[in-house]
Structure 1
Amino acid sequence: MTEWYKEDLAFIHDVGFSDYALKSAAGILEILHQRHIRSGLVVDLGCGTGLWTQELAKADYQVLGVDISEAAIAIARTRVPNAEFRVESLFKTGIPPCNAVTAISECLNYLFDPDNQRETLNQLFHRIYHALIPGGVLVFDIIELGDVPVEMTKGFKEGKDWIVLVEKEEDHDLAILTRKIITFRKIGEYYRRDDEVHRQRLYKEEDIVTELSQVGFQVQTMRSYGQYTLPQGRVAFVAGKPG
């Protein structure tokens, strides 16, 4: 079992933080349709609990979901039983020939994946490019530098039988965002506490555009997926492989 997005945080993220994936879905599907990708295999990197995977399956795509969290994949397999899932690093997993690749909700930023080195991101772009069919597309989003407007911010969110507290701190010099997360989840009569620390490498939009272009992609950036405006500090990329 990995040390990140363990059972309780995976559950809380699924029931309490589904908006990002679900509100993005219509806009991303429209991107695929605009590029005449209405069927075939979509590889969902960092698929989490399978919220976006399920929307792809509903739209009659074949889906391969990849995530490093065993707990998240367990939920995803229950949610989308007709999809294929792997518990693997998205930076090292084999990417089969496919029509599209997605990596939604800043999953390319996470440093708890030991395979997430700066050079492996560029290698991933190359591997995706070669896996995509001509006319295929890569859609993903990242967090940029400046996500935290002040030195440190704290917040919390609660549901029927859970609460999560988050402290965020950005090191601008190192371009690292640290999130300290404490969860309380009711199990039987009592609440169970768990703690996780997530570190994320922050990027600049122009640097990612340059890397994608050098690989051969035709790149477009946006601050929304369709009608859904991304949270502050996020930018989405649509990288097409020429047909």
Structure 2
Amino acid sequence: MNNWYREDLAYIQDVGFSNYTLKSAPGILAILERDRIREGLIVELGCGSGLLAEVLTSKEYRVLGIDISESLIEIAQTRVPEAEFQARSLFSAEIPPCSAVISVGECFNYLFDAENNAVRLMELFQHIYNALMPGGLLIFDIVEPGQMDSGTEQRFTEGKDWVVLVDKVEAGDILTRRIITFRKVGEFYRRSEEVHRQQLYRAAELAGELERIGFQVEVMGNYGEFALPKARVALIAKKPSDSQS
């Protein structure tokens, strides 16, 4: 688990790339309110540094956050001490009975876990369905093919004590990100590197699989007023109120 979002990248992710989660949060709260989920346990898969967990606990939900990165979990535990967090794979986590499961930031695409494939993802969806209370929601987003016009992209972003360089290549249904970070530690900058791979899914196909499990599914390009970036899609899957847990 220490291979992904290690200390420096976890720090940079938290301080430099919080906008996606924070802009998604009001729309997610509105979806929960629309479906009258105003209390209970919410399980957040791929919880990162606890940004959404902090918002949810401020609304008096109980939160269980799960992420494969131990460094991100350490940040989350400090940020939201009233929530529970676990450092483990999404595919091996026990999901207790809950009101909603949320996964923001295309977490289901990441191939961090060798067990992540289309079959295991469907098994995870079934596991979530079984854990949800009747009327409960699964809210998540994915990245689809077509994120980049040319198939390759390079960019850099900098903060007051860090720089991150990203080289992205989309080949078929696999997106590969090579991420090089420089973080100031004391007088000098420390260099780190990670390579992240994602399996690109099509929202229509996942919606069909979710419906076969028993969910009622909406496919959206936004969380409330926040329009998702190119090739990202949100899926809202509801367990019917008359379902048996």
TM score, norm. by length of structure 1: 0.98
Q: Which residue of 1 aligns with 2:54?
A: 54
Q: How many matched pairs?
A: 241
- 2:211 aligns to what SS in structure 1? helix
- 2:33 aligns to what SS in structure 1? helix
Q: Give me the identity figure in percent.
A: 56
Q: Which residue of 2 aligns with 1:96?
A: 96
- Structure 1 vs Structure 2 CA RMSD: 0.7
Do 1:89 and 1:115's aligned partners in 2 also have CA atoms closer than 8 Å?
A: no
Which 4+ stretches in 1 moved above 4 angstroms?
Answer: none
Q: Which residue of 2 aligns with 1:177?
A: 175
Question: Does the alignment pair 1:212 with 2:210?
Answer: yes
1:21-60 correspondence runs (5 A): 21-60=21-60
> Take 1:170 and 1:148, find their aligned partners in 2: how far apart are those partners?
7
Do 1:2 and 1:70's aligned partners in 2 also have CA atoms closer than 8 Å?
A: yes
> Take 1:125 and 1:183, find their aligned partners in 2: how far apart are those partners?
34
- 1:28 aligns to what SS in structure 2? helix
Q: Which residue of 2 aligns with 1:11?
A: 11
Q: Which residue of 2 aligns with 1:129?
A: 129
Structure 1 segments unaligned to the other structure (5+ residues): none
> Take 2:30 and 2:188, find their aligned partners in 1: how far apart are those partners?
45
> Take 1:106 and 1:45, find their aligned partners in 2: how far apart are those partners?
10
State the shift of 1:115 in Å: 2.4
- 1:120 aligns to what SS in structure 2? helix
- 1:114 aligns to what SS in structure 2? coil
1:91-170 correspondence runs (5 A): 91-170=91-170
Structure 2 segments unaligned to the other structure (5+ residues): none
- 1:24 aligns to what SS in structure 2? helix
Matched letter for residue 225 of structure 2:
Q
